[in-house]
Structure 1
């Protein structure tokens, strides 16, 4: 059955919403991003991390509004500390790929079904993007979700799935694929559309508009014609004038989030009631030089996200946009000498859309010391929140109905009752 059959369960369009995935490529060492500050918890953290632990006095203090437990952010995350304090940002704790709820005993006696290629970059990136860790898939949960929700859009030519990371699985569905852009907008032919080079445009149009008899030539011309026209349409929709005055950091991530903010502002011109975006920042595979490398990464992420949110608020779109983090996996709590190795469960952040911020969701273990009841070895923690639960919150916010969740997230019923009156984690109540 086509996923579009379920479009009868769509919400009324109502207004625009955009979901932005910031993928931290390589496996973010997220237990140095979000650190326990309660005395006993911090001492266990320090013992496990040894030379890779942050100092208590340098952490940026936050508290979980629900439990009053004390935590600290990496010292380079001042912008995100401010967003958390303002109730606009939350953390989802110890998230990872799971086929089914898993205990340490089931892991050790091998009775638990485990994600394919556990601890492998390529497999875990795929599973985070597909949310089907029991198989290797070519369709992503953004793509499957968009196959249903695209019916809310006004027959746009440009896909609602817009990528700053090129072709990807996350945004690929049965009927929709990602539309790739750059920090400067759509990729177009040099000089095409430039009034000073109309001869170039005329030559290209002449070649592409011919009626070719050869099927390969005809198909090639058609795809190129479509790509050029879409590029022109996208750039015209976004326009040259930047609709906000917020300054973004001069980094690749800053540039990409700036373009995403501009694309969100242009949603009306693009005919989009629903949008998804993907941007990726590499460098998180910190097998060595963890402390220095992670410091720079945390600063870049925090500053870029802070600027992005300032621009979104300047445009009055804060209720229409959610940005969330994803990554291959967490990392080992123990050191390999100068860094950490591939782990499993990790911590993530969610920003915007009117969520109940200033809180931690899921389960941040009170004991992350070595040998705890989630430790599969070297501090590789079994996730206590599945990616399915995390993504279900986001899908519901974007407008996916509970009855359609299993179309986007085929494994969701292993972790969440689709008939429940409450949401999987409660980010929006």
Structure 2
């Protein structure tokens, strides 16, 4: 038997031993952060944090923000197969903000009007509408992955421009949202790269990396410091008492050792030996130990110092069972122990990037299944309530101006109905919330009409606001890179450093297609989205 085969056998045997002994769920997510204990970067001043809220599956965001009324709503209604009602269950449209078309107990409630009913917010999202009216929420219509500005005329054919690979693919478009480019093989995400360029040394934060996930490992948080040291996310759970996963049951540091812990420790040592040949084994073992001690000696004790009646420990107040709120509440606690000097606080962070996610957005079936908060409506209600609760907790602890939450989803969905739901498309609506966010609509909200184009406009529409294909698959008029670059600048990344994170950013600011004559539908010919964030 070859040495490689023998090593592989030993590796698998040790892995099975670890699994059999328990605690693997705590071990493997944290192995990714091991190198982060050595991460270094040039720190920015003060404290700021980004929170990426990922809506996994492709949110039908044209029913989050829709036309409020008038002819724009009529086009929307017709394109969405009519208003959903007991007699039209294939319809995806919602009643207009002024109530036009609303039939009590037969259709969903009318949309909530904003901007004088120019737009309507989904009726199950009153909290998001309120945040918008307070000037703390911004909508970004028709945003999506792009390589460079594009129109229907330049989508294909001899003069075609570059476009993202594997459009309409969940996995591939998720990767492009997370990495800010068009390379599906990229392993570093723009959230991790932003954190790596602005955060203090991990050693100044008791070894805690500035990238933290509550929803599993994600490429979005992978990055490097300014000295090219790998940066990987730390995993938190939603537990109130032990938010950081621990391997105390492995007997590391001789804590409460017993015969089972001794066996677990033996298997762990063998696993490390098989996975990492000398001279790395000892260093990996040491780093694993330090990662575990970070949980046992820093994170969990720090959370325990938060007063029971602190706003970040607020009860669910009707949000029981809202897993997204559980994730966001844990982020609020981490922000508290990272910034509040009155606590016995060993973290003292200056920059943090968080990741949370919620699924259920791949609504090919039963998108609207009743007039109540079910299906897509129910998902949006969960988001609206959780985001509002998180923002209010940031206000209560004085961090609202320093924390920005933004939504993301791999793509929008088709405007017309497939009979029971909607299918994969391209551009969609996202939002950003925070004290530093200037509320409003940023970008171009298109006429919601099928098969609209500059060369063959739909009657009564304005195709210069955005074009789409036959089922309403909108070509984005704002790039993911532009949103990412805007938030990166707010976090403290130098403008000159943006191309090292977003390789395509200058395709939208300069070059042959970054002008109204070449791409008349594109919203902002600039690296960042003008006016979205204070201070940039």
TM-score normalised over the length of structure 2: 0.71
SS of residue paired to 1:128: helix
Equivalent residues, number = 412
In 1, are the aligned partners of 2:95 and 2:111 still within 8 Å (CA)?
A: no
The answer as to whether partners of 1:87 and 1:356 remain within 8 angstroms in 2 is yes
Judge conservation of contact 2:509–2:526 (CA < 8 Å) in 1: no
Residue 282 (structure 2) aligned to one of 215, 218, 221: 218
Match 1:360 to one of 429, 438, 441: 441
CA distance 1:344–1:370, change in 2 (3 Å): same
Pair 1:180–1:7, CA change in 2 (3 A): closer
Q: Which residue of 2 aligns with 1:179?
A: 234
What residue is the counterpart of 1:296 in the other structure? 378
**Residue 421 (structure 1) shift:** 9.7
TM-score scaled by structure 1? 0.88
What is the SS of the residue equivalent to 1:91? strand
Q: Mapping of 1:268-283 within 5 angstroms?
A: 268=339, 269=345, 270-283=347-360
Alignment partners' CA distance in 2, 1:238 and 1:225? 21
Paired with 1:7 and 1:159, the residues of 2 have a C-alpha distance of: 11
Q: Is the 8 A contact 1:332 1:379 kept in 2?
A: yes
Deviation at 1:86, TM superposition (A): 1.0
Give 1:234's aligned residue. Answer: 299
Gaps of 5+ in 2: 1-39, 82-90, 100-108, 225-229, 340-344, 370-374, 454-466, 512-524
CA distance in 2: counterparts of 1:412 and 1:343, whole angstroms: 23
Q: What is the aligned partner in structure 1 of residue 330 from structure 2?
A: 259
The 8 Å contact of residues 324 and 358 in structure 2, kept in 1 or not, is answered as yes
Larger Rg computed on CA atoms: 2
> Which gives a bigger RCO, structure 1 or 2 (Cα 8 Å, sep 6+)?
1
In 1, the alpha carbon distance for the partners of 2:527 and 2:286 equals 48
Which runs of structure 2 are paired with 1:25-424 in the superposition (5 Å)? 25-50=56-81, 51-56=91-96, 57=99, 58-64=109-115, 70-109=118-157, 111-151=160-200, 155-156=204-205, 157-174=207-224, 175-184=230-239, 185-189=243-247, 198-199=256-257, 215=278, 218=282, 221-232=285-296, 233-239=298-304, 241=306, 242=308, 243-244=310-311, 246-248=314-316, 249-250=319-320, 251-268=322-339, 269=345, 270-292=347-369, 293-357=375-439, 359-365=440-446, 367-373=447-453, 374-416=467-509, 423-424=528-529
The answer (yes or no) to whether the contact 1:145–1:407 under 8 Å persists in 2 is no
Q: 1:204 to 1:400 in 2, by over 3 A?
A: farther
In the TM superposition, what whole-angstrom CA distance separates every residue of 1:9-53 from its partner, at most 9, and x where no partner exists? x75x1x111100000000000000101013111011011101111
Distance 2:221 2:215 in 1: 11
What is the CA distance between 1:228 and its match in structure 2?
A: 1.1
**1:351, distance to aligned residue in structure 2 (A):** 0.3
Contact kept, 8 Å, 2:59 with 2:413, in 1: the verdict is yes
CA apart distance, 1:217 = 5.8
Unmatched 5+ stretches in structure 1: 1-5
> CA RMSD for the aligned pairs?
3.0
**Distance change in 2, residues 1:346/1:375 (3 Å):** same
